[in-house]
Structure 1
Amino acid sequence: MCGIVGIVSEHAVASRLVEGLRRLEYRGYDSAGIATVLDGKVHRRRAVGKLRALEDVLEKEPLAGHTGIGHTRWATHGRPTVSNAHPHGSEKVAVVHNGIIENFSELKEDLVAKGVSFESETDTEVVARLIEWELSRLEDPQAAFSSALKALEGAFALGVIFASQPQTLYCARRGSPLAIGRGEGEMYIGSDALALAPFTRRVTYLEEGDWAVLGLSGAVIYSAGGTRVERKETLSDASAALVGKGRHRHFMAKEIEEQAEVVSHALATYLLPAEGKIELPEGGIDFSKVSRLTISACGTAFYAGLIAKYWLESWARLPVEIDIASELRYRDVPYQKGDSALFISQSGETADTLAAMRHAKASGVKVGAILNVVESSMARDADAIYPIKAGPEIGVASTKAFTCQLATLACIAIAAGRQRGHLTEADEKRLVHELLKIPRLMADVSSKERDLEQLALDLVPASDVIYLGRGVSFPLALEGALKLKEISYIHAEGYAAGELKHGPIALIDEHVPVVVIAPDDQHFEKTVSNMHEVIARGGKCILLSTSEGLEKARADDELLGSFAMPSVEPMLAPLVYAVPIQLLAYYTAVHKGTDVDQPRNLAKSVTVE
């Protein structure tokens, strides 16, 4: 993640921008910067490293100005350097950005052809240069900002200032969260209410696709279509706590919504979008020399690894063994020359996973750790670290860590396919392009959460629920069942759809809802056939598929409910389909009245056997 803050005021803003960034530093600390408008020009100060480095720069080169924007960065496109640090722009305009611009490469090529020069490796600079280009053409900041937004594809949040408007601040959100704060004679923007807490409790959360123009006395908000809209103002309960819930009732809901944002950062850690390539950390596993890969983890992380098994065997033709860490550590595994292993843990402290990893390493195996906490025990012991960049996850039931693990594993699998010669350069470029779409598609699904809440009402009275899927959707069925069990306390089981007639079909009756995960892929017809077998026996199904898939299923009148998913590269479907299964579990638990964030008998990190 990255953190954004902005202020339009009648008073100096530099020190308060830094204060806002200090409260967002958990979202990124590779570099930081601020920009203000002063004497008809935009002025910037940037530094590499934690926020203290920026404060040192500002002590030597103070920055005046009454309107400004700030950013604390978790390096995505481009290394942590001053030239890659935000804000980006010129003396005319400056931009801070969180998220991924999917089509930045095409936009950059077009701008370069028009004679525009670039100085960084980031996708954000494309936004700044595009706005500046539109400004030269339209000669109106609001028109330039609005026009540029229409050209951008992806999931992002933006803050923008113009030299020609010293008391105006622009912002927009698509996929990534952004809040507006109201003060006395001044206005603010922030990635969440936490950044705004030192200044105001009066917060308005922008909705998907919104953009706004802020002045000293208020904000004018527009929908994605350009229509002026009103959004509800709330009183924030954000305090000095490190991470707040924002407008959400539970951390889990906040973390589900954050997935479009954090997955974009997980992907950008490994993707080189302009080249259409994936770059893994130096010193990592050389998959071209691996004859067999072992993957191990616990709980949700295990299911992420199970999905990765499909990817690695398909894209890299690499044999994969996968086992639950609590089993693997006690097996006498015959590791052989040429073996490598990957271990997955959000915390990096999971006792069984850590023990299994240490056993593998002691056996002479090169081990890689896929982690959210890179200062953890597993990080210190691993030969290679693959960070997932999910940011703090407070809810016990893993959501954004799961999808960030998937994003990281997808990048590893594609890179392995290239290293082993089973994916061509064209294959890699196509898959990178498909990966860049994922955050936007996740945001699309999240924006329809109320439809999923209605479907969840049908699960609330159930005592048992079954999840079905085939291919990469089978591990997702296991994860869907786990999520429901964890937080709603409803007994649920996930099955490979082809196993239905090998026993589970005996459980089917009108009181056992069946959630069918059926992307419109090579397995679709067989999965739908299994669904009709359930329906024929009086079972009630909820179908998750594309609009085309729902139409082909021809079961609307017989379904308990359905949800139309966006089209996605079939092998990458779990990244997007994870969102509705999480929301189904969440709203089921909410309506049952359970403790969503701290479900009974569970802990965030299992550090004992």
Structure 2
Amino acid sequence: MCGIIGYTGRLDALTVLLEGLEQLEYRGYDSAGVALLSSGNDRFLMKKAGPVATLKDACTTVDIESHCGIGHTRWATHGGVNDINAHPHIAGRITLIHNGIIENYHNLIDRFGFRESLVSETDTEVAAKLLDHYYEGDPYAAIRKTIREITGSYAFCIMFEDIHDQIFCVRNISPMVAAHMEDGSFVASDVTAIIPYTNRYFVIPEYQIVTLRQDGISVQDLDGNPVELEILEVSWNVEAAKKNGYPHYMLKEIHEQPEALRNTILPRLRDGIPDFSEDEIPDELFSFCDKIAIVACGTAMYAGMVGKALVEPIIKIPVSVNVASEFRYENPLVDDRTLVIVISQSGETIDTLAALRLSKERGAKILSVVNVKGSTIARESDYVFYTHAGPEIAVASTKAYMVQLASLYLIGCRMSMVRGKFSQKDAGEFVSRLLDTIPAVQKILENKAKLKTAASILAKAKDAFFVGRGLDYAFSLEGSLKLKEISYIHAEAYAAGELKHGTIALIEEDTPVIAVATQDHIYAKTISNIKEVKARGAFVILITKQHAEITDDICDMHFSVPVPHDRFTVFPVAVILQLLAYYTSDMKGLNVDKPRNLAKSVTVE
């Protein structure tokens, strides 16, 4: 959840660290800090509660020549949000930053007698104390002994007081990448902090000790053996990670969705049908299974629910959608005839990774849908379907959701062909309709004025409800999440037919109800449910397909999507719901890109 960066080289370290922390702030913004080794080998520490901007202001008067340092932006787990609990932490000769959770830190405090000397409330300071305890001049020995004592997840960047211009790194589960170029060596939680300097990087393997020097990077395993690394290249440039004139990253990323769809869909088409040869995903993966388990968290899970609603009726085998954080504790029904599809934008979501590992232990085949090449989930999967969304900086996911949907649609189409449920003609028609969603999404983006009016009404509400049936219900879940996470309005999504089973008691005069009714075969029933809430005073915002028959008594505001086929309405509907949430949050004067208490990548349980 936290963002970490380290640098040693020719450049001014403070500048590199502060600029990197600004790029990583989506990973946490409770506090931020930097530690530097000066040219005279003195240590300098500055850390502040609040966003990176607060730290940056505090550093304006700093006059220090330094070419080696580490920086951290925190999403608080252990201990309150204050200067003392902010990273980096110093213990004796050790300066350390950490992303993760040390589960046995209480036990370590008692075993090693640290309690009286601790300054902060954090688990991270305990790790620094433990390293200092073991350090006798050999950093590698100290790191090996320390991580053997620790239970939990971690990405550590460490500076030793008596080892000049070097940074040592080690990780378990929590993500970390590194890169070297002419001006020095870098380490970070995410390539967004490195991309201004180089597009070539490597993912630090778990339980390997990485040493950053000004002239290069070395990697060794826990036995001291050198490790060969796979160098990866980022396919986007630094401009892709900027706002490019938009007021917020979220709005920029919403507008990037047509391009993201094209980049994800078009390379997988051959003669107008899905072909995964270049992904090295064999057809046998789709023919061997007798059930499918989709595992994900948050927005990715809601993409999975759309996938289930799409695929299960076609291929006629059970498809389950599982909350990753609960999956491994439920003794799931997974075996060697199960295809497990895990979905994660970052490829580092810790609960999803744990579910993947459990599924592999039980013999399941793993197909992951991820956006980050070389991520832990990608490396541990049997097969990987990379989305091509580019960097997504806003905490609230938009274009990642869109390309996850597109990926599941392509996978569902190919699977239907392999299992004999689609002819080649059926598949061609399916893909043609999928491609038609791209201009449909663009059309929604070009006609936003009315959405702002709807948002001005939502902005005054304390509660909002989303309703739909079938696929529309699956869309509504994501719409509800978007609204609540960035506008702080209590929002819930319900299957429209369930309103009479309790939920309708919550409807009062002018309660906003966003109703999605794009499925022809259940349209009349959905409209009946909408009339029920309208009769009780609800302010109804209705979303239908174009040319749907509606009367003035059904809704207060109406939006339509230019997609004629039921299966594909999710794409333009998603944009409407994203923009509603965005404009509502913006009108309330909230921080759209960095909603309170949230972080982009969930790498702790």
> TM above 0.5, one fold?
yes
Aligned residue number for residue 487 of structure 1: 486
Aligned 1:22-421 pairs, distance under 5 A: 243-272=241-270, 274-279=271-276, 281-284=279-282, 286-421=285-420
Following superposition, the deviation at residue 596 of structure 1 comes to 0.2
Aligned 1:466-481 pairs, distance under 5 A: 466-481=465-480
Structure 1 segments of 4+ aligned residues over 3 angstroms from their partners: 239-242, 274-280
Q: In the TM superposition, what whole-angstrom CA distance separates every residue of 1:320-373 from its partner, at most 9, and x where no partner exists?
A: 111100010212123233111000000000000000001101111111110000
Tell me the amino acid that sits aligned with residue 347 of structure 1.
Answer: S
Aligned residue number for residue 589 of structure 1: 585
Tell me the amino acid that sits aligned with residue 493 of structure 2.
Answer: G
Aligned 1:437-516 pairs, distance under 5 A: 437-516=436-515
* Maintained 8 Å contact 1:294/1:321: yes
3-state SS in 2 of match to 1:269 = helix
* Maintained 8 Å contact 1:315/1:414: no
Structure 1 distance, partners of 2:394, 2:554, is 36
Following superposition, the deviation at residue 425 of structure 1 comes to 1.5
Aligned residue number for residue 606 of structure 1: 602
Tell me the amino acid that sits aligned with residue 378 of structure 2.
Answer: A
Following superposition, the deviation at residue 278 of structure 1 comes to 4.0
Following superposition, the deviation at residue 558 of structure 1 comes to 5.3
Structure 1 distance, partners of 2:307, 2:519, is 20
Following superposition, the deviation at residue 591 of structure 1 comes to 0.3
Following superposition, the deviation at residue 271 of structure 1 comes to 2.0
Q: In the TM superposition, what whole-angstrom CA distance separates every residue of 1:289-326 from its partner, at most 9, and x where no partner exists?
A: 11011111000000000110112212222211111000
Tell me the amino acid that sits aligned with residue 403 of structure 1.
Answer: M
Count of matched residue positions in the alignment of Structure 1 and Structure 2: 368
Alignment root-mean-square deviation, CA: 1.7
Tell me the amino acid that sits aligned with residue 600 of structure 1.
Answer: R
Aligned residue number for residue 550 of structure 2: 553
Following superposition, the deviation at residue 450 of structure 1 comes to 1.7
TM-score in terms of structure 2 length? 0.59
3-state SS in 1 of match to 2:241 = coil
Following superposition, the deviation at residue 501 of structure 1 comes to 1.0
Tell me the amino acid that sits aligned with residue 248 of structure 1.
Answer: Y
Following superposition, the deviation at residue 242 of structure 1 comes to 5.9
Q: In the TM superposition, what whole-angstrom CA distance separates every residue of 1:252-299 from its partner, at most 9, and x where no partner exists?
A: 000001101111111113222x34444463244621111011111000
Structure 1 distance, partners of 2:339, 2:545, is 37
Q: In the TM superposition, what whole-angstrom CA distance separates every residue of 1:404-446 from its partner, at most 9, and x where no partner exists?
A: 0000000000111111111112211110111111111100011
Structure 2 distance, partners of 1:389, 1:593, is 31
* Maintained 8 Å contact 2:513/2:538: yes
Tell me the amino acid that sits aligned with residue 346 of structure 2.
Answer: S
* Maintained 8 Å contact 2:336/2:362: no
Higher mean C-alpha displacement, 243-252 vs 559-568? 559-568
Q: In structure 2, do the counterparts of structure 1 residues 241 and 413 end up closer, same or farther at CA, with 3 Å as the change threshold?
A: closer
Following superposition, the deviation at residue 502 of structure 1 comes to 1.1
3-state SS in 1 of match to 2:366 = strand
1:562 to 2:558 alignment: yes
Following superposition, the deviation at residue 557 of structure 1 comes to 5.0
Aligned residue number for residue 130 of structure 1: none
Aligned residue number for residue 93 of structure 2: none
* Maintained 8 Å contact 1:278/1:414: no
Structure 2 distance, partners of 1:420, 1:450, is 45
Higher mean C-alpha displacement, 260-269 vs 388-397? 260-269
Following superposition, the deviation at residue 528 of structure 1 comes to 0.9
* Maintained 8 Å contact 2:480/2:491: yes
* Maintained 8 Å contact 2:472/2:519: no
* Maintained 8 Å contact 1:317/1:417: no
Structure 1 distance, partners of 2:372, 2:296, is 15
Q: In structure 2, do the counterparts of structure 1 residues 317 and 241 end up closer, same or farther at CA, with 3 Å as the change threshold?
A: same
* Maintained 8 Å contact 1:453/1:584: yes
TM-score in terms of structure 1 length? 0.59
* Maintained 8 Å contact 2:249/2:393: yes
Tell me the amino acid that sits aligned with residue 506 of structure 2.
Answer: L
3-state SS in 1 of match to 2:577 = helix
Q: In the TM superposition, what whole-angstrom CA distance separates every residue of 1:568-588 from its partner, at most 9, and x where no partner exists?
A: 321121122100000000000
Structure 2 distance, partners of 1:250, 1:575, is 22
3-state SS in 2 of match to 1:528 = helix
Tell me the amino acid that sits aligned with residue 605 of structure 1.
Answer: S
* Maintained 8 Å contact 1:295/1:343: yes
Aligned residue number for residue 38 of structure 1: none
Tell me the amino acid that sits aligned with residue 601 of structure 2.
Answer: S
3-state SS in 2 of match to 1:548 = coil
Structure 1 distance, partners of 2:383, 2:439, is 30
* Maintained 8 Å contact 1:516/1:531: yes
Tell me the amino acid that sits aligned with residue 506 of structure 1.
Answer: A
Following superposition, the deviation at residue 560 of structure 1 comes to 2.5
Structure 1 distance, partners of 2:286, 2:308, is 14
Aligned residue number for residue 535 of structure 1: 534
Aligned residue number for residue 568 of structure 2: 572
Aligned residue number for residue 24 of structure 2: none
Following superposition, the deviation at residue 494 of structure 1 comes to 0.5
* Maintained 8 Å contact 2:530/2:554: no
Following superposition, the deviation at residue 567 of structure 1 comes to 2.5
Aligned residue number for residue 56 of structure 1: none
* Maintained 8 Å contact 2:480/2:492: yes
Structure 1 distance, partners of 2:333, 2:252, is 43
Structure 2 distance, partners of 1:586, 1:242, is 20
Q: In the TM superposition, what whole-angstrom CA distance separates every residue of 1:368-422 from its partner, at most 9, and x where no partner exists?
A: 1100002100001000000111110000000000010000000000111111111
Tell me the amino acid that sits aligned with residue 568 of structure 1.
Answer: P
* Maintained 8 Å contact 2:285/2:339: no
Q: In structure 2, do the counterparts of structure 1 residues 240 and 374 end up closer, same or farther at CA, with 3 Å as the change threshold?
A: closer
Following superposition, the deviation at residue 473 of structure 1 comes to 1.2
Aligned residue number for residue 96 of structure 1: none
Following superposition, the deviation at residue 240 of structure 1 comes to 6.8
Q: In the TM superposition, what whole-angstrom CA distance separates every residue of 1:94-148 from its partner, at most 9, and x where no partner exists?
A: xxxxxxxxxxxxxxxxxxxxxxxxxxxxxxxxxxxxxxxxxxxxxxxxxxxxxxx
Identity among equivalent positions (%) equals 42
Aligned residue number for residue 517 of structure 1: 516
Structure 2 distance, partners of 1:453, 1:525, is 28
Unaligned runs of 5+ in 2: 1-195, 197-236
Q: In the TM superposition, what whole-angstrom CA distance separates every residue of 1:194-244 from its partner, at most 9, and x where no partner exists?
A: xxx9xxxxxxxxxxxxxxxxxxxxxxxxxxxxxxxxxxxxxxxxx976621
